[in-house]
Amino acid sequence: MAEREAAKGRVHLVGAGPGDPELLTLKAVRLLERADAVVHDRLVSAEILAMAPARARMIPVGKAAGFHSVPQERINEILAELAREGLEVVRLKGGDPFIFGRGSEEAAYLRARGIAVDICPGITSAQGAAAGTGVPLTHRGLASGVRYVTGHRQGSAPLDLDWQGLSDPATTLVIYMGATNIAEIAFHLMAAGRPGATPVMAVSGATTAAEQRHVSRLDRIGLEMRLSPLPSPVLFIVGDVVRLADAGGGERLTLSAAAIGAGAANRIAAALKGI
């Protein structure tokens, strides 16, 4: 009986994209408009959530660094419970559900219990940040490949990334969830041979009205982010492609009193003398 009830419902793992509602796919909009329940992350905007019908149950399960309002195990159970009620469930995740979104874990949990699951991909945060800033993730003569990594480990476990592989200057490196550990990440990359002068762009709130950018270099980004942090979430793009960034971004942060305040600018300038 439980298996027959489970078969009535379905869970759609849907990518909400990087933030701009216009970057949703047509399929994502269609699924939202017919959803009976929407289980959504913290960073999904109100404009996107408003696309769900008024009758839909809206269930926030967002996470922030160091604070999980709903444990992942409970999220899995909520999805299963809603599907067993025979509902069309949209599990709405920022970016793409299979890029550092734990979507594959949720899919495996549900399928193991006989619950139908399908995937609706979304534009990744990396793609949105690249398009919005004019930074290509690959470019002939500058970057022949791109790698996505997470700068955070569960339970604050030590970072154990492939530092040697990530130090390849022909590879663009995109770092998710790395704001807290960016100084450590930069240190390991330089220790593995990535030049300290490698350009780095930090992007906060990519593709939204609140977007902020900061262009720096690998040997300075850790200090600068500590003295003048950007609002979470922050994505880092590391590589020579950052030199192609769109200079027209009016919200770009720079090492100047006008952008970060005279006090912070003076502290950075003094600290950088020792680098």
Task: Give me the active site residues, please.
Answer: 41, 63, 177
- Left (φ > 0), alpha (ψ -120 to 50) or beta: where does 4 sit? alpha
What are the Cα distances from residue 66, in Å, to 102, 153, 160, 180? Answer: 16, 11, 19, 11
Name the amino acid, one letter, at 43: L
Cβ-proximal residues to 177 (8 Å cutoff; 6+ apart), any chain: 65, 100, 150, 151, 152, 233
C-alpha span between 267 and 275 (Å, rounded): 13
32, two tokens: 């939202």
- Using alpha carbons, select from 89, 91, 61, 83 the residue that is nearest to residue 73: 61
Q: Buried b / exposed e across 214-238, counting CB within 10 Å, b at 16+?
A: bbbbbbbbbbbbeebebeebbbbbb
Q: Please state at what angle helix 72-84 crosses helix 103-112, rounded to 10 degrees.
A: 50
- C-beta atoms surrounding 167 within 10 Å: 18
